[in-house]
Amino acid sequence: MSRTTPVGERIGRVAGTWFPLIVLVAGAIALLVPQVFLPLGAWINPLLGIIMLGMGLTLQPVDFRVIAKKPKAFVIGVVAQYVIMPLTAIALATVFQLPPALLVGVVLVGSAPGGTSSNVMVYLAKGDTALSVAMTTASTLLAPVLTPLLVLWLAGSYLPVDAWGLFQSIIFIVLLPVIAGLVLRMLLPRLVRAILPWLPLVSVTGITLVVLAVVAGSAATILSVGLLVALVVILHNGVGYGLGFLAAKSVGLDSSAQRAVAIEVGMQNSGLAAGLAKTHFSPEAALPGAIFSVWHNVSGALLASFWSRRPTKDAVRDEAPTAAS
């Protein structure tokens, strides 16, 4: 029946494998010739919606069994996501005295849910993939409420924050597409199974276009303060990995869960943060999200490669995730 599925799987595997390099090259190209990609700016939020629809299509009821099996690991992971990254964001932005637009951009990254590429990295790192998927889903579903409130709390004293506008944007960009994906999988399971192998390619293409758009729109800012913002992003991401790992270890989670929580906390849906920043603040505010989108996929791949050579006694090896963002 089919040659389509094997071809889709091969293309999806290649896209996922080379994702960090693709995003890195895209960012460099957008910086060199930004004018070419400026028209993509209007498509950032629709592209993010397509990526989130893909996430919804990959979800099944079985993905949530881990919540009953490992409630402590699940709760620790989700709480760490929305405590460690937002507080680290405002701390770094304050220490480095970032201007308000960049500060809110860093806070948006820290207040965003986990990115689905974290699921792929956890799988490669021989971590608990089921836990990672459940954490990503939960943080995504909580984002319409928690992200606006966190941004208002942490950045509201530096510049005006439209929390209601952020809430509405996240509903339309994140929640509705994820729910639509879940519904489509229930109503049209055969069709969805046929397109699942192609979803990594769709997600990689989508986030690459988002990076092209955001970097192009922020090119002038990158050239003036890019190194400082890059340093903040690298520290933010690294602290997320480190404190996420320590939080999981401190409550006695097994080593596969420690890896899952560390990667899940450190990797953010920075494309969403960049889209929200551009819509509700300024192109400059989108810069931290753009740089984070490039960097966390590179660092995540490096960390996954490191851990993949150090198997755990309790390693949980599930099926490979099918989406990246």
Which residue shows structure tokens 């506008």? 165
* Residues, the chain: 325
Nearest by Cα to 236 from 313, 295, 188: 295
Cα separation, 310 vs 77, whole angstroms: 22
Mind listing the pLDDT tens digit for each residue in 285-297?
988 988 898 888 8
The partner residues of 114 in beta bridges, in order of sequence, read: 268
pTM of the model: 0.83
Residue 186 confidence (pLDDT): 87
Q: Of residues 199 and 148, which shows the higher confidence score?
A: 148
pLDDT, residue 245, reads: 95
The answer, yes or no, to whether residue 1 has pLDDT greater than 60, is no
Question: CA 160, 99, 222 angle in degrees (round to 5)?
Answer: 115
Q: How far is CA 53 from CA 49, 95, 296, 324, in A?
A: 6, 37, 22, 12
Residue 227 confidence (pLDDT) above 60:
yes
Q: Would you give the DSSP letter of residue 114?
A: B
Q: Which tens digit of pLDDT belongs to each residue from 179-188? A: 898 889 888 8
User: Which tokens sit at 277?
Assistant: 């920043």
Task: Tell me the pLDDT band of 197, cut-offs 50, 70 and 90.
Answer: confident
Q: For residue 325, is pLDDT > 50?
A: no
Which range has the worst mean pLDDT, 49-53, 94-98, 150-154?
49-53
257-316, pLDDT tens digit by residue?
999 999 999 999 888 898 899 889 988 898 898 889 888 888 988 888 888 887 776 645
Q: What is the dihedral of CA 277, 281, 284, 285, to 10 degrees?
A: -40
Q: What confidence score (pLDDT) does residue 90 get? A: 96
Task: State yes or no: pLDDT of 51 exceeds 50.
Answer: yes
3-class secondary structure for 251-298? CCCCHHHHHHHHHHHHCECHHHHHHHHHHHCCCHHHHHHHHHHHHHHH
> Does the pLDDT value for residue 55 go beyond 50?
yes
What pLDDT, on the 0 to 100 scale, is given for residue 17? Answer: 67
- Reported as type and span, the H/E element at residue 229 is helix 219-250
Nearest in space to 92 (alpha carbons), one of 277, 268, 288: 288
Q: Backbone phi, then psi, for 295, in 5-degree steps?
A: -70, -45
